[in-house]
Amino acid sequence: MVRRREKGEPPEHIVGYVKFADLRLSVGPGVFIPRRRSAFVADLVIDACHASVVRPVVVEAYCGAAPIGAVVASRAESARLIAVDHSAVARRHARRNLPASARVVHGALPGAMTGVLAGEGVLGAVDVLGAVAPYVPSSRRDLLPAEALDHEPADSHDGGHDGLDAVRGLIAGTRRWCSADGVMLLECHRDQAGVARLYAQSHGLGCRVRHSHDGQTAVVEVRVARDHPPG
Ligand SMILES: C[S@@+](CC[C@H](N)C(=O)[O-])C[C@H]1O[C@@H](n2cnc3c(N)ncnc32)[C@H](O)[C@@H]1O
């Protein structure tokens, strides 16, 4: 283990777990390590679950090891959970981190989401969708710390030219995937949030940006309903 660490492997991959919120989640080589800052989006997902129907349909898109889903499973037990990722390694860890009742599904997003939801019988019925999609601009990936650059999959970071390809893909699916009162909560960098909000508004969607207390993280909150509180 010390030798692996000396070579720069992240401690979480070596010991096989990461602490996230108040949970201990399985991770390992080949999977993105959930970041502490993403507890903010997980908290907002929980709030949305509690404000939703009795048994909300909750989707974690680009789930990786499924940190959002794991928090939902522990704090909104009645939710019906679906987690989607195209990586087999990520899905293996997600299955360990979620209860057996959760569905962990392969899908190349955003294109595959419609088929995944139809297959699960919840197309147009998603109450809450949470995601930490890849959102690093392609040209900025080199600036990531070596631990991330060398030991996490490139496609877990690379969000295209401005970093928002996956976020835009999810926003564009809101109306087709979500229930009338559905909400999407999408983490991004604070400097990207304004662009994402304009994109959502240009699709006639309700949108506001939530900022974490430390100012590091933004979450774009997108709703089918247009009478969304301004923000
Ligand atoms: C930034 S990581 C976030 C993982 C998890 N949400 C978290 O916070 O730990 C992004 C995830 O998206 C997955 N991914 C990247 N491109 C994808 C695609 N086109 N379709 C499905 N999953 C994708 C990667 O495998 C990775 O697990």
- Evaluate: CB of 18 within 6 angstroms of ligand 1: no
Beta bridge partners of 208: 221
pLDDT digits (tens, 9 = 90+) for 156-208: 999 999 999 999 999 999 999 999 999 999 999 999 999 999 999 999 999 99
Q: What is the pTM of this model?
A: 0.96
pLDDT higher than 90, residue 53: no
Q: Which residue has the higher pLDDT, 226 or 68?
A: 68
How many Cα atoms within 13 Å fall on the side-chain side of residue 139?
2
Identify which of 33, 36, 58, 85 to mutate to test ligand 1's pocket (most ligand atoms within 8 A of the CB): 85
Structure-derived torsion over alpha carbons of residues 110, 124, 175, 182, reported in degrees to the nearest 10: -100
Closest atom of ligand 1 relative to the 60 alpha carbon: 6
Identify which of 58, 155, 192 to mutate to test ligand 1's pocket (most ligand atoms within 8 A of the CB): 155
DSSP state of 230: P
227 Cα: distance to centroid of ligand 1 (angstroms) = 31
Integer angstrom CA distances of residue 85 from 15, 107, 109, 204: 23, 6, 8, 28
Rounded percentage of the chain residues whose pLDDT exceeds 70: 97
- Evaluate: CB of 86 within 6 angstroms of ligand 1: yes
DSSP H/E element including 40: helix 39-50
Closest atom of ligand 1 relative to the 112 alpha carbon: 20
Residue 214 contacts by C-beta under 8 Å, 6 or more apart in sequence?
37
- At 148, the amino acid letter reads A
Rg (C-alpha) for the chain, rounded Å, is 17
Is the separation of the CB atoms in 155 and 100 below 8 Å? no
> Which tokens in the block code for residue 83?
């987690």
Residue whose CA is at the smallest distance from ligand 1 atom 16: 155
Identify which of 86, 186, 217 to mutate to test ligand 1's pocket (most ligand atoms within 8 A of the CB): 86
Strand pairing category for 57-61 and 126-131:
parallel
Residue 97 contacts by C-beta under 8 Å, 6 or more apart in sequence?
23, 25, 26, 65, 66, 67, 69, 70
Question: To which residue do tokens 């949108």 refer?
Answer: 207
The full set of domains in the chain, from first to last, is 2-223 (3.40.50.150)
Residue 230: its pLDDT value, please?
47
Rounded percentage of the chain residues whose pLDDT exceeds 90: 93
87 Cα: distance to centroid of ligand 1 (angstroms) = 8
